[in-house]
Structure 1
Amino acid sequence: MNIETNIDTKIETKKIHIFDTTLRDGEQAPGGTLNLEDKIRIALQLEKLGVDVMEPGFPVSSPGEFEAVRQISRLVQSVEICGFARAIKGDIDAAVQATQDAAKRRLHLFISSSDIHLDFQLRKSREQVIEMARSMVSYGRQFVDRLEFSLMDASRSGEEFVMQLVEAVIAEGATIINMPDTMGYALPHEYGQLFARVRQQARGADKVEFSTHCHNDLGLAVANSLAAVQNGATQVEVTINGVGERAGNCSLEELAMVIDTRKASLNMETGIRPEEIYASSRMVSRAMHMPISFNKPVVGRNAFQHESGIHQDGLLKNRNTYEIMDPEQMGIPRKMIILGKHSGRHAIRHRVEQLGFKVDDAQMEELYVRFKEKADGQKIVTDDELIRLVGTTVNVATETYSLVDVQVVTSSERSRVASATVKNGATGANATYSAIGRGPIEALIGCIKQGIGFPVEFVDLELHSISTGEAAGGEAEVTVEAFGRSYVGNAMDEDILIAVAHAYMAACNQAAREAKAEGRWAEGGASAIEKADRRMWT
């Protein structure tokens, strides 16, 4: 056990090692298959995130898996690489060969231990399973110094047999014992007791490390993992976003932030770098084409957003009133206020000022009435709509650029064609632009870019349905980069392409307003049109 002493409080802080299996167990999520390039990209990000151990795949399962494990073993040198294998000689040989170039490596063997698995899957007796485990651990130890052994479905296996199997593999040289809650069935107190008793009673248990691997079928994966570490486990096996079989695995970001947020009570710490959490989450979500639930803890869209007027008022006075974590610490863009029908005057005024506008008290009351009328008819009021409301209220042009008209022609066989008419708020002049693209959004953004007076990079797009049926509309959130900074705009429309266009324009207008306010407009504003090469925008 790696124990570090906290000099200030004289309390021992236990280091919890993070074993990431996103690229192996996580990839087993239906529809979550990754190609080689995705695996390598995610592996390098996991290294930046600060995981201690990485399981890049199941080498014997396919030539592609073998190659992925082999390449990651060569590229990722600061993280211990784990070769996964059944308690079968051929699996072990493949895992050993695939990880042979790793700077630090271990072998991870597993075998089922519950009666239901033995009777209906392995069709072997307990005695036969113990013999298989003994012989394969002995065989594997010829190749590696560190060997982890997992008792699949340990939480449903019965304490007596778990004890026998653990003692058998320790005797043959296993150095890490993993007792998974494979079906997500255990309750935290039951699972914690299993670790406590095995560590206290199994022969040789004091000479090995213990690991936990929990699934989330009953929503208890994080709670059970914590119960295990509170009863002596020093390693937790996790995945980014909790992806994995069925309801998934223990979520890395949730576990890491529980320990970080409650470290004084838990006396634990991990090596995870919080600032890399959000980037890691987004990368895995996109690579696996698995959207993150809005209410997902830590990384979900709503995790740090607030619509209630009471909450918004408290947050604006002191963030700690309604937030126990700092999203910016995890690389999450700060968007704590979502404006809807529950929002109050304080929040509305705050957002209006963030967008670069000033309204007096009388104008604020008029804006508040208009806002409530708008909000009652839809879920949220977007920045794009709020800016228009402000313009109507103060009777001035609020946008540097605005869309007058958009048209998109799509085809199953040919390039998509779009045209857009953009109004310049400063001159009042309209100009129409056109572009083609592989998809309608690429074509649409390509022509709007031509009407913006500074270089803008389209960074990210999120699309969400806001109703059901054939008339379903969409909400778009677009992130752009301009003047070396990121800006986010959102919009809703019955036509999802129009929503994307308005969200993009809202983000560009944010960039323009900020550049003007800070005196940077001349560097990248209207004068840049005459100097810049338009090809860089299209």
Structure 2
Amino acid sequence: MSRKIYVLDTTLRDGEQVPGAKLNLYEKLEIAKQLKRLKVDMIEVGFPASSKGDFDSVKTIAEQVGKDVVITALGRAVKNDIDAVYNSIKNAEQPMIHMVLGTSDVHVEKKFKRSRESILEMGVEAVKYAKTLLPEVQYSPEDATRSDFEYLWQTVEAVVKAGATCINIADTVGYAVPELFGELIKKINYRLKNMNYKVLLSVHCHNDTGLAVANTLAAIRNGADKVECTINGIGERAGNAALEEVVMGLKVHPNYYDGYSDVQTTELLRTSKLVSAMMGLDVQVNKAITGENAFAHSSGIHQDGLLKSRDVYEVIRPEDVGAQEMELVLTARSGRHAFRHVLGNLGYDNLAEAAFDTIYESFLELADRKKEVYDHDVYYLVKEYYTGKNQEFTGNGIELYGLVDFQVISNTLFPTATIKLKKGEETLVQSANGNGPIDALYSAITTMVGKDIQLKEYRINSISRGKDALGRVSIQFQYNGKIYNAKAVDTDVIKASVMAFLNGVNKIVLENKANYEDQEKNQEQHVSNK
């Protein structure tokens, strides 16, 4: 029978230890609420003994979010820390005290400068005291993977007898390797369950050698009941095990790991984006599960296989983690099948073979000059073909927007922007003001296209040694409530920003072509009635 694996998220404690990632109370509350929507079992919300501000934030989160989820906070195995944890989380529905104390000789001798026996006694007394405050107490032997096994087990046995309800084996410095860590967990689990089968066995893995997720999954395979992770793998130094990767690894191989989690995987990407935005830490584009390119395909061989059957190159469907459908990125490496697919989306799926060959050659020439080719680029390649043949170009009822020119005036008083776009045979010009040049440009485009579009996320990054800028946007089309992600590359940061927004608008036009004309008529009727 498959076991439930409990998931503790420590983004708000271990994750916030990243330099520069400090959160205010509002941001912590927003992340905590999203973690609850993600349906993690436990949230570790801080280190309340560290400062009054951290104590207050832990207390507020426990009171406002602490229902239907276990709330815990970390303290050292000393009375003052335990009191701080208790007083900050006691108003949660399911509070749990979490304490940590080193067991490796490095910690015992060099950090504490005490004997093994005195450290063991210190841990036992701390657990006994914590049990007078709350029934649920988690004990973490810090640096467990570099500890002498028999001393580690002696510690575990003693604190369980003192009342600990969860033992959390910490690979504090990312020292472990999956095979040996799995063996360690198996040995501890065997002894622990024979002593008291009700005590949970947990793991907390760091990523110093890039093995945190692998070690965590190896622990599950060998009997761990609970895992501690962070969103996007953030945390001290190289970070922690990435929650989204552990959860999806478990979901892809439930029989192998003999386990499942209750995490709502469709909320993973939303949670990742929220944490990234709040902490100001970008997610690497090729990161598993939540990276921007996690479900993007540019290789012609891959694109051909995916278009025939998605499971050819997809082991996880993007929809399962809350992402959009797979993205086919048109580059010089894309093949004929992928290009024909994009043409079909534009309504040109019945082109004669000679016409297709000519347009495809034009596409390859363009792709050699650009990093990526977008829908509107293909649209205008088709238009140029028909124009060159002196044939009528109807656009199949679809008219995408292309950039002609723009001008911005940036100042602290009244930033303004003017933009010129082409839409079929029509040239459109619009000016607007905003909080800055990008906001002014986006306001002008939104007014020009006449659609209720809201910017949800905007980012600009330097690539290619700073010569190229990558603009990324997420926009919401209020007509259907859907979020559309788009990007563009250019040496001009403002142009890259504009093109990214236009690419998003064109995605809306293409995907909603069936309802687009009806909506446009309704809007025109609404204006005329006024």
Q: Which residue of 2 is the match for residue 31 of structure 1?
A: 20
Output the amino acid matched with 1:420.
I
- Out of 465, 478, 481, the position equivalent to 2:477 is 481
Q: Which residue of 1 is the match for residue 420 of structure 2?
A: 421
Output the amino acid matched with 2:404.
V
Asked if the contact 1:59–1:84 (Cα under 8 Å) also holds between the matched residues in 2, the reply is: yes
1:475 Cα shift?
A: 4.2
Output the amino acid matched with 1:410.
S
Pair 499,356 (structure 1): closer, same or farther in 2 beyond 3 Å = farther
Q: Trace 1:104-119 onto structure 2 (pairs within 5 A).
A: 104-119=94-109
Output the amino acid matched with 1:35.
N
Pair 479,533 (structure 1): closer, same or farther in 2 beyond 3 Å = farther
Q: Which residue of 2 is the match for residue 212 of structure 1?
A: 203
Tell me, in whole angstroms, the C-alpha distance in 2 between the residues paired with 1:36 and 1:527.
Answer: 42
Q: Which residue of 2 is the match for residue 58 of structure 1?
A: 47
Q: Which residue of 1 is the match for residue 29 of structure 2?
A: 40
Q: Which residue of 2 is the match for residue 127 of structure 1?
A: 117
Pair 31,319 (structure 1): closer, same or farther in 2 beyond 3 Å = same
Tell me, in whole angstroms, the C-alpha distance in 1 between the residues paired with 2:83 and 2:500.
Answer: 53
Is 2:426 the counterpart of 1:444?
A: no
Tell me, in whole angstroms, the C-alpha distance in 1 between the residues paired with 2:338 and 2:300.
Answer: 7
Output the amino acid matched with 1:198.
I
Pair 102,226 (structure 1): closer, same or farther in 2 beyond 3 Å = same
Is 2:509 the counterpart of 1:512?
A: yes
- Out of 238, 249, 259, the position equivalent to 2:250 is 259
SS across alignment from 1:83: strand
Asked if the contact 2:509–2:516 (Cα under 8 Å) also holds between the matched residues in 1, the reply is: no
Output the amino acid matched with 1:387.
Y
Pair 360,63 (structure 1): closer, same or farther in 2 beyond 3 Å = farther
Structure 2 portions without partners, runs of 5+: 388-392
Tell me, in whole angstroms, the C-alpha distance in 1 between the residues paired with 2:524 and 2:401.
Answer: 15
Pair 438,518 (structure 1): closer, same or farther in 2 beyond 3 Å = same
Output the amino acid matched with 1:474.
L
SS across alignment from 2:413: coil
Tell me, in whole angstroms, the C-alpha distance in 2 between the residues paired with 1:488 and 1:276.
Answer: 16
Cα-to-partner distance string for 1:39-88 (whole Å, 9 max, x where unaligned): 11111111111111110111111222112211211222010111211111
Q: Which residue of 2 is the match for residue 96 of structure 1?
A: 86
1:218 Cα shift?
A: 1.2
Q: Which residue of 2 is the match for residue 247 of structure 1?
A: 238
Asked if the contact 1:285–1:291 (Cα under 8 Å) also holds between the matched residues in 2, the reply is: yes
Q: Which residue of 2 is the match for residue 178 of structure 1?
A: 168
Q: Which residue of 2 is the match for residue 165 of structure 1?
A: 155
Q: Trace 1:312-391 onto structure 2 (pairs within 5 A).
A: 312-358=303-349, 359-391=351-383
What is the identity percentage for the equivalent residue pairs of Structure 1 and Structure 2? 38
1:176 Cα shift?
A: 0.8
Q: Which residue of 2 is the match for residue 493 of structure 1?
A: 490
1:223 Cα shift?
A: 1.5
Is 2:403 the counterpart of 1:403?
A: yes
Asked if the contact 2:330–2:373 (Cα under 8 Å) also holds between the matched residues in 1, the reply is: yes
1:403 Cα shift?
A: 3.2
Q: Which residue of 2 is the match for residue 6 of structure 1?
A: none
SS across alignment from 1:479: strand
1:33 Cα shift?
A: 1.5
Q: 320-329 or 391-400, which moves further after superposition?
A: 391-400
1:309 Cα shift?
A: 1.1
Cα-to-partner distance string for 1:224-255 (whole Å, 9 max, x where unaligned): 11222222210000111111111111111111
Q: What TM-score do you get using the length of structure 2 for normalisation?
A: 0.92
Asked if the contact 1:410–1:417 (Cα under 8 Å) also holds between the matched residues in 2, the reply is: yes
Q: Which residue of 2 is the match for residue 392 of structure 1?
A: 384
Tell me, in whole angstroms, the C-alpha distance in 2 between the residues paired with 1:200 and 1:457.
Answer: 55
SS across alignment from 1:339: coil
Q: Which residue of 1 is the match for residue 468 of structure 2?
A: 472
Asked if the contact 2:189–2:224 (Cα under 8 Å) also holds between the matched residues in 1, the reply is: no
Q: 203-212 or 252-261, which moves further after superposition?
A: 203-212
Q: Which residue of 2 is the match for residue 9 of structure 1?
A: none
Asked if the contact 1:242–1:248 (Cα under 8 Å) also holds between the matched residues in 2, the reply is: yes
Q: Which residue of 1 is the match for residue 145 of structure 2?
A: 155
Is 2:494 the counterpart of 1:503?
A: no
Tell me, in whole angstroms, the C-alpha distance in 1 between the residues paired with 2:87 and 2:266.
Answer: 35
Output the amino acid matched with 2:470.
G
Asked if the contact 2:428–2:448 (Cα under 8 Å) also holds between the matched residues in 1, the reply is: no
SS across alignment from 1:300: coil
Asked if the contact 1:137–1:173 (Cα under 8 Å) also holds between the matched residues in 2, the reply is: yes
SS across alignment from 1:106: strand
SS across alignment from 1:298: coil
Is 2:262 the counterpart of 1:271?
A: yes
Tell me, in whole angstroms, the C-alpha distance in 2 between the residues paired with 1:197 and 1:400.
Answer: 63
Output the amino acid matched with 2:446.
K
Asked if the contact 1:483–1:524 (Cα under 8 Å) also holds between the matched residues in 2, the reply is: no
Output the amino acid matched with 1:267.
D
SS across alignment from 1:179: strand
Q: Which residue of 1 is the match for residue 390 of structure 2?
A: none
1:340 Cα shift?
A: 1.1
Tell me, in whole angstroms, the C-alpha distance in 1 between the residues paired with 2:220 and 2:515.
Answer: 54
Is 2:79 the counterpart of 1:83?
A: no
1:357 Cα shift?
A: 4.1
Q: Which residue of 2 is the match for residue 4 of structure 1?
A: none
Output the amino acid matched with 2:405.
D
Cα-to-partner distance string for 1:340-378 (whole Å, 9 max, x where unaligned): 111111101112222444443222211211111122233
Q: 77-86 or 194-203, which moves further after superposition?
A: 194-203
Tell me, in whole angstroms, the C-alpha distance in 1 between the residues paired with 2:433 and 2:47.
Answer: 43
Tell me, in whole angstroms, the C-alpha distance in 2 between the residues paired with 1:532 and 1:140.
Answer: 71
Asked if the contact 1:87–1:109 (Cα under 8 Å) also holds between the matched residues in 2, the reply is: yes
SS across alignment from 1:183: coil
Cα-to-partner distance string for 1:429-481 (whole Å, 9 max, x where unaligned): 543x3222222211111122221133222233343334224x43434445341
Pair 299,473 (structure 1): closer, same or farther in 2 beyond 3 Å = closer
Output the amino acid matched with 1:528.
E
Tell me, in whole angstroms, the C-alpha distance in 2 between the residues paired with 1:199 and 1:512.
Answer: 56
Pair 525,88 (structure 1): closer, same or farther in 2 beyond 3 Å = farther
Asked if the contact 2:49–2:75 (Cα under 8 Å) also holds between the matched residues in 1, the reply is: yes
1:265 Cα shift?
A: 2.5
Asked if the contact 1:363–1:394 (Cα under 8 Å) also holds between the matched residues in 2, the reply is: no
Asked if the contact 1:313–1:346 (Cα under 8 Å) also holds between the matched residues in 2, the reply is: yes
Asked if the contact 2:376–2:402 (Cα under 8 Å) also holds between the matched residues in 1, the reply is: no
Tell me, in whole angstroms, the C-alpha distance in 2 between the residues paired with 1:158 and 1:306.
Answer: 47
SS across alignment from 1:219: coil
SS across alignment from 1:451: helix
Tell me, in whole angstroms, the C-alpha distance in 1 between the residues paired with 2:316 and 2:506.
Answer: 30
Tell me, in whole angstroms, the C-alpha distance in 2 between the residues paired with 1:196 and 1:488.
Answer: 44
Q: Which residue of 1 is the match for residue 177 of structure 2?
A: 187
Q: Which residue of 2 is the match for residue 222 of structure 1?
A: 213
In angstroms, what is the RMSD of aligned CA positions? 2.3
Provide the aligned length of Structure 1 versus Structure 2.
518
SS across alignment from 2:327: coil
Structure 1 portions without partners, runs of 5+: 1-11
